[in-house]
């Protein structure tokens, strides 16, 4: 097995998808189209081994995610395993399925941080977007428990046409809940979100107003809350450096144990994903065919191959490139230098007022 040398960095973060089960039906769900069932999920003992191997590999933090991780009855045991491995643990949750009692058990197990997804600042709209009545109230209740226990709280607000004009209200909501950070996270259009793209897509005017609002909010609330936000892909000049570059800074373990370079990597056909059931995590990081596929620059075509930004954005998102062009090696069409950029411009103009196709 090859050792990790200077040419291959160590991962810093691990996204642990504990389950694909989720009570919500979000129209932009980022889980794969083919969900893994409960019978396929890794048990707590295997997760504990994965966490120990991750720590030895250099990982510093683990994000306990899903689906909804609270669907796991052994979530406290898994959280304790992360603490025992020396990893900083962040629970990514919809808040549905967590009570004051079950959350207290997670705190006792050593949980470090909580991220709650909130669909809108208005309760009725938030529940409508999530496809789950009463969800907004549960999010408020869990946020209060997080603050009461003294854990840091992040609010994740997924932004699209229905709520983008309430960015200021969402930041104010995060402040009122006691959050120290809020993520203004625009919808990523692959997977399930593609089914709702024309319904979710904001207008250029909305995006411009939101960007200006974020700038003003950062100035107004400097020192009170951190506001993370980027321009949504379809309106950006350059692509984002997806997950810090393919196989460079993070890895993702699915509920059944397959290890991915990024959350949506399974949307690219032909990649071979190794499992923690069959391989050690370090071997997967260094030698898995999926991780090798888009590491470095050898795979790049023009204009990426000679672009001075290739070490900054790494050609953009491979999953998005495949979703829009059918070629995972193509320049992300979000980039204005891409020969397919006109496709993104056209799609950004496609909008319809239609009912959401919920994830069920």
Asked whether the predicted pLDDT for residue 1 surpasses 60, the reply is no
Q: Tell me which residue has tokens 């705190």.
A: 107
What percent of the chain is predicted at pLDDT more than 90?
94
Over residues 93-127, the pLDDT tens digits come to 999 999 999 999 999 999 999 999 999 999 999 99
pTM: 0.94
pLDDT at residue 281 in the model: 98
pLDDT at residue 242 in the model: 82
- Mean pLDDT within 1-19: 76
Report how far residue 34's alpha carbon sits from residue 17's, in angstroms, rounded to the nearest whole number: 14
Average pLDDT, the chain: 95
What percent of the chain is predicted at pLDDT more than 70?
98
pLDDT at residue 2 in the model: 38
What tokens appear for 59 in the block?
Answer: 């990982």
- Other Cβ atoms less than 10 A from the Cβ of 105: the count is 16
- Mean pLDDT within 316-332: 94
Stretch among 26-30, 48-52, 60-64, 243-247 having the lowest mean pLDDT: 243-247
Report how far residue 74's alpha carbon sits from residue 41's, in angstroms, rounded to the nearest whole number: 12
- Mean pLDDT within 282-290: 97
Asked whether the predicted pLDDT for residue 4 surpasses 50, the reply is no
- Band (7; pLDDT cuts 50, 70, 90): low
Q: Tell me which residue has tokens 């040398």.
A: 5
Identify whether the C-beta of residue 63 lies closer than 8 Å to the C-beta of residue 12. no
Asked whether the predicted pLDDT for residue 6 surpasses 70, the reply is no
- Band (5; pLDDT cuts 50, 70, 90): very low
User: Which residues, at least 6 apart from 70, have a Cβ–Cβ distance to it below 8 Å?
Assistant: 93, 96, 97, 98, 102
- Band (3; pLDDT cuts 50, 70, 90): very low
Over residues 65-104, the pLDDT tens digits come to 999 999 999 999 999 999 999 999 999 999 999 999 999 9
Q: 105: cis peptide before it, omega within 30°?
A: no
Asked whether the predicted pLDDT for residue 43 surpasses 80, the reply is yes
Over residues 184-227, the pLDDT tens digits come to 999 999 889 999 999 999 999 999 999 999 999 999 999 999 99
Asked whether the predicted pLDDT for residue 307 surpasses 90, the reply is yes
């Amino acid at each position: 097995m090859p050792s990790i040398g200077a040419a291959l960095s160590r991962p810093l973060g691990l996204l642990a998808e504990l389950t694909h089960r989720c009570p919500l039906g979000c129209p932009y769900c980022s889980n794969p189209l083919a969900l893994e069932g409960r019978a396929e999920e890794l048990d707590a003992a295997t997760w504990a081994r994965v966490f120990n191997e991750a720590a030895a590999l250099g990982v510093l933090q683990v994000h306990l995610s899903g689906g909804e991780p609270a669907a796991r009855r052994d979530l406290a045991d898994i959280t304790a395993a992360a603490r025992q491995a020396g990893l900083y643990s962040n629970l990514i949750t919809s808040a549905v399925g967590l009570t004051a009692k079950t959350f207290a058990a997670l705190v006792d197990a050593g949980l470090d941080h909580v991220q709650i997804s909130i669909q809108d600042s208005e309760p009725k709209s938030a529940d409508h977007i999530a496809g789950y009545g009463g969800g907004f109230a549960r999010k408020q209740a869990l946020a209060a428990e997080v603050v009461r226990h003294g854990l840091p709280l992040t609010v994740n607000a997924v932004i699209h046409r229905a709520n983008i004009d309430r960015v200021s209200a969402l930041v104010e909501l995060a402040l009122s809940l006691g959050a120290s950070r809020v993520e203004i996270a625009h919808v990523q259009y692959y997977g399930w979100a593609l089914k709702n793209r024309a319904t979710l897509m904001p207008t250029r005017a909305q995006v411009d107003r939101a960007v200006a609002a974020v700038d003003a909010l950062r100035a107004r609330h400097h020192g009170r809350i951190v506001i993370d936000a980027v321009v949504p892909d379809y309106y950006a000049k350059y692509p984002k450096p997806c997950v810090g570059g393919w196989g460079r800074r993070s890895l993702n373990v699915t509920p059944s144990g397959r290890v991915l370079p990024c959350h949506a990597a399974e949307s690219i056909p032909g990649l071979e994903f190794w499992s923690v059931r069959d391989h050690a995590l370090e071997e997967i990081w260094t030698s898995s065919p999926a991780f090798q596929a888009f590491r470095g620059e050898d795979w790049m075509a023009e204009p990426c191959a000679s672009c001075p930004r290739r070490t900054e954005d790494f050609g953009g998102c491979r999953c998005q490139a495949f979703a829009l062009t059918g070629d995972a090696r193509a320049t992300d069409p979000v980039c204005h230098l891409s020969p397919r950029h006109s496709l993104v411009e056209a799609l950004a103009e496609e909008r319809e007022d239609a009912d959401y196709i919920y994830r069920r």
